[in-house]
Amino acid sequence: MLAGPDANDVKCDLTINSPPSLTRENVQNMMFYEKQVETKTVFEGMIVNVRRDVAQLQNGNKAEREVVEHPGGVGIVAVTNDNKVLMVRQYRYPMEEELLEIPAGKLDNEEDPFECAKRELSEETGYTAAKYVDLGAIYPSPGFCRETLYLYLALDLQKGEMHLDENELLSVEHMDIDELIDQIVANELKDAKSIVGIMKAKKYLENQSV
């Protein structure tokens, strides 16, 4: 069995030349990792790049991995002074349907996530916020995509003018957060970042009211 939980010890023991016997008992206590041994970029796009890698596994085998490189993005749960959540409705071409989502966008040129959140909220809704709460980061699809999405709660809003990109078509809706929770439970609101952001915001606001 592996001696101790230290990651360096694990890597020392688990080599291709001398793979361990992975029993149910020692798997429960190990720290999992995979090591990149080969990489090749097979697609370069406007937003994403795609790599095809070969990874060394802990059991001594090698496996192919396809990885989508994404710059990352933000999502903002913006709550008005009358406790309405700003949601945007837009058509999502990959899913071939119209979706209801929190305001969101990708990071531009290694942009700071907080600055990106302020920019996207203003662009998509016209609102600015006097207070932001960091709701943490999520990995939307870690099985194949390196995207990290940063979530924020925006409060003390002030209305301004929207300034959308030329081909950005959307509408802004003001919705009660409990109605959104009901839509999540009923599987009517399907966007992952919106689900996580709304649930985190709901918990934060409940804790603040205690």
Residue ranges and CATH numbers for the domains of the chain are 7-69 (no CATH), 73-209 (3.90.79.10)
In percent, the amount of the chain with pLDDT more than 90 equals 80
Is residue 56 within 8 Å of 65, Cβ to Cβ?
no
More confident residue, 197 or 31: 197
Nearest to 113 by CA among 78, 137, 144, 85: 137
How many CA atoms within 13 Å lie on the side-chain side of 156? 5
Nearest to 175 by CA among 201, 207, 136: 201
Say how far apart CA 193 and CA 71 lie, in whole Å: 16
Q: Which residues are catalytic?
A: 166
Give the model's confidence band at 164: pLDDT under 50 very low, under 70 low, under 90 confident, else very high: confident
pTM for the whole thing?
0.85
Answer positive or negative: Cα dihedral of 167, 173, 174, 175. Answer: negative
Higher pLDDT, 167 or 22: 167
Which pLDDT value is given to residue 2? 41
When pLDDT is cut at 50, 70 and 90, the band that residue 30 belongs to is confident
Biggest alpha carbon distance in the chain?
A: 64
Taking residues 157-174, what's their average pLDDT? Answer: 92
Asked whether the predicted pLDDT for residue 5 surpasses 90, the reply is: no
Residue 104 has, within 13 A of its CA and on its CB side, a CA count of: 26
pLDDT in tens, 126-153: 999 999 999 999 999 999 999 999 999 9
- pLDDT value at residue 89: 97
Helix 192-209, helix 177-185: angle, nearest 10: 130
Which pLDDT band, with edges at 50, 70 and 90, does 23 fall under? Answer: low
